[in-house]
Structure 1
């Protein structure tokens, strides 16, 4: 394969990796959007009488973590698949860059 063909292939591979990363980021944004919508429902809950005992922030944080884990678990198969795909793409790009002359590789 000629150098221009390898450079074109490298460009296509890098573009495919950027697309995969955008998909991964989109899932992350969707999870964060869901969590943002859930936060008002979690509310700080007071223990005992409202004036004597302050709200329990630890309980709020625990409820938040449980909800986040549940939502993330629903999307875990997509997250895992995209993570594996990104790893494969990174390895392929690294291998192709190793075959190109150093002065023709753009950062």
Structure 2
């Protein structure tokens, strides 16, 4: 009984650590999104040529948006990569732990069989 409680506690701690890592990853993604949202008004103001009779270039805004998004993502890429690797390791550890727990015979029945 104590062994299964210990295993359940270990699994709960592993899953909590995984949720924390996933939360950190989502937080970084939200920060990038927030910064890009703040930049949108500045990206759209470059239409000085339109006043001089030239129509605005249709793909220019999208190009500037993508360039800024790539720059912001590149700034945080080492963090994103590290958290993604950590999340993958945590997933593998949880899967291995569950497989090990399921394949191990219960301690109480193993003791009875040996008596």
TM-score band (shorter)?
A: 0.7 to 0.9
Corresponding residue for residue 82 of structure 1? 83
Corresponding residue for residue 24 of structure 2? 23
Q: TM-score, normalised by structure 1?
A: 0.83
Alignment of 1:1-107 (within 5 A): 2-43=3-44, 45-46=46-47, 48-50=49-51, 53-101=54-102
Greater percentage in helix: 2
Larger deviation: 75-84 or 54-63?
54-63
Query: Relative to 1, partners in 2 of residues 1:60 and 1:49: Cα closer, same or farther, differing over 3 Å?
Result: closer
Runs (4+) off by over 4 Å: 44-53
Mapped to 2, the partners of 1:48 and 1:36 lie a distance apart of 24
Query: Relative to 1, partners in 2 of residues 1:88 and 1:82: Cα closer, same or farther, differing over 3 Å?
Result: same
Q: Secondary structure at the match of 1:75?
A: helix
Whether the 8 Å CA contact 2:18–2:90 is kept in 1: the answer is yes
Pairwise CA distance, 1:22? 0.5
Structure 1, unmatched stretches of 5+, are: 103-107
Q: Secondary structure at the match of 1:56?
A: coil
Whether the 8 Å CA contact 2:40–2:65 is kept in 1: the answer is yes
**Which has the larger Rg?**
2
Q: TM-score, normalised by structure 2?
A: 0.78
